[in-house]
């Protein structure tokens, strides 16, 4: 896996305390999948564009989603 990550120039994003704190900014009705919530929190904190075809991510405020 490490070789493929290097080959594809994939940047891994560790989970940090600010990411976990950002989870509190989402309502409990935004989306219930904890992993998806963490991805949205990382996108919010890091000011990243979240690329997905999953419509569930549309419920997260201030997270820019593209597909």
In tens digits, the chain (67 residues) has pLDDT values of 899 989 999 888 999 999 999 999 888 766 788 999 999 999 999 999 999 999 989 888 889 999 8
Question: DSSP per residue over the chain, as a string?
Answer: -HHHHHHHTPPP----HHHHHHGGGS-TTS---HHHHHHHHHHHHHT--EE---GGGGGSTT--EE-
pLDDT at res. 29: 67
pLDDT at res. 45: 97
The pTM assigned to this predicted structure is 0.83
pLDDT at res. 20: 96
Q: Domains of the chain: which residue ranges?
A: 13-66
């Amino acid at each position: 896996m490490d070789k493929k990550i290097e080959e594809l120039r994939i940047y891994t994003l560790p989970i940090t305390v600010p990411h976990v704190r950002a989870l509190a900014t989402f309502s409990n009705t935004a989306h219930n999948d904890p992993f998806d919530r963490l991805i949205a929190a990382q996108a919010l904190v890091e000011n990243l564009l979240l690329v997905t075809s999953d419509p569930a991510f549309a419920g997260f405020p201030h997270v820019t989603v593209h597909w």
